[in-house]
């Protein structure tokens, strides 16, 4: 009985943490994301470091960058370590327009 109660309490704690994260996400990601085109991405990239260039996806969104203007992480590089390793392995340096595959 004690073990079952402890397991239930842990599950409830995990659920509450998940709900808090979702609430924070939804507070800064209301409405629709900003969609970009090639010209805007080119202009923005002129003022960005070489290791943080924006890549336009076919959808108009940016690869590895938040496109919600109200988000505190808007246009910040959100690449994971796995993404960075994969990019280094491919030797990818030049393309600013990402393909359909991610």
| C-alpha to C-alpha distance for 66 and 71, rounded to whole angstroms | 7
**Residue 66: φ, ψ to 5°:** -70, 140
Please say if the pLDDT value at position 52 is more than 70. yes
pTM: 0.68
- pLDDT score, position 93: 54
What does residue 17 show for φ and ψ, rounded to 5 degrees?
A: -65, -45
pLDDT of 102: 44
pLDDT band for 71, please (50, 70, 90 cuts). very high
- What's the pLDDT at 32? 94
Please state the rounded mean pLDDT for residues 34-42: 97
pLDDT recorded at residue 3: 80
Please report, for the chain, how many H helices and E strands are present, in that order. 3, 0
Q: Residue 96: helix, strand or coil by DSSP?
A: coil
């Amino acid at each position: 009985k004690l073990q079952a109660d402890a397991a239930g309490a842990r599950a409830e704690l995990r659920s509450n943490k998940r709900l808090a994260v979702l609430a924070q996400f939804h507070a800064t990601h209301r409405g629709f994301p900003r969609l970009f085109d090639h010209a805007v991405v080119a202009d923005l990239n002129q003022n960005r470091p070489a290791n943080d260039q924006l890549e336009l996806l076919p959808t108009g969104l940016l690869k590895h960058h938040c496109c919600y203007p109200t988000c505190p992480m808007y246009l910040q590089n959100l690449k994971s370590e796995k993404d960075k390793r994969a990019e280094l392995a491919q030797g990818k340096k030049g393309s600013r327009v990402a393909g359909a595959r991610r």
